[in-house]
């Protein structure tokens, strides 16, 4: 595994997400899953996509309440409750710095309960095994295995781009990223 190029941008958005955001269907609905401060959903809002911001704690996106094209959904994704957006299909789903493996069937629409629409784009980026050398997250439950995103996406998606490995900036970390289009 080689050293990855720098993937953070001055505005806080991941350059990986920014790179592929423009390939989302124009005007298509976007889900920023475990959105935190919503740095990626905000990027899509600027690009005229309606955005659903979902998190257990919506404090980071409270300023967006009532803004046109903005939906805020408070939900605990790990509490065993059903997928909180039943039947909703998205032109793009963005997940960064968050991993909860039971969500993958919902993202890929395997439950027929929502998730990516046909042709929809999954942009996923988070930490992988080996990151424990650098700090947190270090719990293997929250670290992707080698090639894990690739293996998860291949049966459902056309993989557009994938990379994994060690990166030096903004701080040393082991990360994995994928951009994939639902078949």
Ligand X SMILES: C[S@@+](CC[C@H](N)C(=O)[O-])C[C@H]1O[C@@H](n2cnc3c(N)ncnc32)[C@H](O)[C@@H]1O
Q: Which residues pair with 89 in a beta bridge?
A: 115
Q: In the complex with ligand X, which residue's Cβ is closer, 79 or 155?
A: 79
Q: Report the candidate in 126, 182, 120 with the shortest Cα–Cα distance to residue 154.
A: 182
Residues 98-157 that bind ligand X (CB under 6 A): 98
Cβ-based neighbours of 107, under 8 Å, separated by 6 or more: 33, 93, 95, 115, 116, 122
CB of 129 to ligand X, least distance (A): 17
Extract the tokens encoding 100: 């909860």
Q: Can residue 96 be called a binding residue for ligand X (CB under 6 A)?
A: yes
Residues 5-64 that bind ligand X (CB under 6 A): 34-37, 39, 55-57
CB of 131 to ligand X, least distance (A): 13
Q: In the complex with ligand X, which residue's Cβ is closer, 78 or 147?
A: 78
Q: In the complex with ligand X, which residue's Cβ is closer, 103 or 152?
A: 103
- The 8-class DSSP code of residue 4 comes to P
Q: Could you say which of 76, 110, 119, 154 contacts ligand X (CB under 6 A)?
A: 76
Q: Report the candidate in 57, 45, 146, 128 with the shortest Cα–Cα distance to residue 92.
A: 45
Q: Report the candidate in 22, 74, 17 with the shortest Cα–Cα distance to residue 48.
A: 22
CB of 151 to ligand X, least distance (A): 22
Q: Which residues pair with 60 in a beta bridge?
A: none
CB of 183 to ligand X, least distance (A): 25
Residues that bind ligand X (CB under 6 A): 34-37, 39, 55-57, 76-78, 96-98
């Amino acid at each position: 595994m080689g050293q990855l190029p720098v993937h953070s941008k001055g505005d806080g958005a991941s350059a990986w997400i920014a790179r592929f955001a423009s390939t989302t269907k124009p005007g298509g609905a976007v889900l920023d899953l475990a959105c935190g401060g919503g740095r990626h959903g905000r990027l899509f809002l600027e690009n005229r996509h309606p955005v659903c911001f979902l998190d257990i704690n919506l404090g980071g996106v409270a300023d967006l309440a009532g803004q046109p094209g903005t939906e805020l959904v408070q939900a605990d994704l790990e509490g065993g409750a059903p997928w909180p957006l039943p039947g909703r299909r998205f032109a793009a789903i963005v997940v960064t710095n968050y991993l909860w493996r039971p969500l993958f069937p919902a993202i890929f629409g395997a439950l027929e309960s929502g998730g990516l629409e046909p042709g929809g784009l999954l942009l996923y980026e988070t930490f992988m095994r080996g990151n424990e050398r650098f700090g947190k997250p270090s719990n293997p439950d929250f670290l992707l295995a080698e090639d894990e995103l690739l293996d998860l996406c291949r049966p459902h998606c056309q993989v557009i781009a994938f990379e994994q490995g060690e990166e030096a900036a903004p701080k040393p970390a082991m990360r994995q990223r994928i951009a994939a289009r639902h078949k």
